[in-house]
Amino acid sequence: EIVMTQSPATLSVSPGERGTLSCRATQSVSSDLAWYQQKPAQAPRLLIYGASTRATGIPARFSGSGSGTEFTLTISSLQSEDFAVYYCQQYNIWPLTFGGGTKVEIK
């Protein structure tokens, strides 16, 4: 199976600053990469699919990039509601797999 590795495990950022999250796959997944946001006691929410396409209703401060094995989620100016855990997921090859998550916390 494809293993997805996210870094860092925890990202400490001040409100208004830029946050950059990374996701790496053990083999190419083309652009079949999604990002999700999960807040405590809530279900995950789709942010990005196709590596760079924002889902419906997602603010423009969220952007995704990359292809193959290296991907990045950038939050251009962190707002209070953005502090959460973020997961990447590949859907190129079954079984579908998630990364371990990056917790974005207030610095």
Partner 1 sequence: EVQLLESGGGLVQPGGSLRLSCAASGFSFSSYGMNWVRQAPGKGLQWVSGISGSSGSTDYADSVKGRFTISRDNSKNTLYLQMNSLRAEDTAVYYCAKGDSKWYFDCWGLGTLVTVSS
Report the site for partner 1 in 8-27 (rule: CB under 8 A): none
Q: Binding string to partner 1 for residues 40 to 79, with x set by CB under 8 A, is what?
A: ---xxxx--x-----x------------------------
**29 DSSP assignment:** -
Sheet holding 19-25, edge to edge: 4-7, 19-25, 70-75, 62-67
Name the residue nearer to partner 1 (CB basis): 42 or 80.
Answer: 42
Name the residue nearer to partner 1 (CB basis): 81 or 94.
Answer: 94
